[in-house]
Amino acid sequence: MIIVGGAGNNYGALFGGVFIYIVWTVSEPASVILFDIISDFSEGAGIGAIPNIESRALQMRVFVLGLVITFALRYFPQGLSRSGCALKNRSIELFEQMTRRRQKWRRLYFCAVHQIDW
């Protein structure tokens, strides 16, 4: 849970735990539905149905959690909560840049209107 959420703060660990729980809960029914669709397709093609769909869905649950952790480590090495903080900091930085530019243009406009050297 800490790997996915981020070890830097408590909210990251909490977010990672909730996210892993949701993935764990949803992955088994989604796997059963996916395997049923593939089984129907393979039966229609003459290959045969997939045996033991329930046990394969349980195995798929562990595989999906491995994918989530691998994806989190590869693309968000500081955790998903840290990435959100970085995005937030970047947006604040961009907003401050826009504000500085706006103030600069207001000063230039004021100086031009009132014929003052800047």
Tell me the per-residue pLDDT of 70-114, one tens digit each, with 9 for 90 and over.
Answer: 888 887 777 766 655 555 566 677 777 778 777 777 777 777 777
Q: What is the pLDDT of residue 87?
A: 54
pTM of the full structure: 0.58
Q: Domain locations in the chain? A: 2-88
Burial class (CB within 10 angstroms; exposed 0-12, middle 13-18, buried 19+) of 55? exposed
pLDDT digits (tens, 9 = 90+) for 29-57: 888 888 888 888 888 888 877 788 788 88
Q: What is the pLDDT of residue 26?
A: 92
Query: Which residues are CB-neighbours of 64 under 8 A, at least 6 positions away?
Result: 23, 27, 31
Distance (Å, whole) CA 103 – CA 30 = 53
- The CA distances from residue 116 to 17, 77, 107, in Å, are 61, 53, 10
What DSSP line would sit under 97-111, residue for residue? HHHHHHHHHHHHHHH
Share above pLDDT 70 across residues of the chain, in percent, rounded to a whole number = 78
Q: State the distance between the two ends of the chain, measured CA to CA, in whole angstroms.
A: 56
Q: What is the pLDDT of residue 79?
A: 72
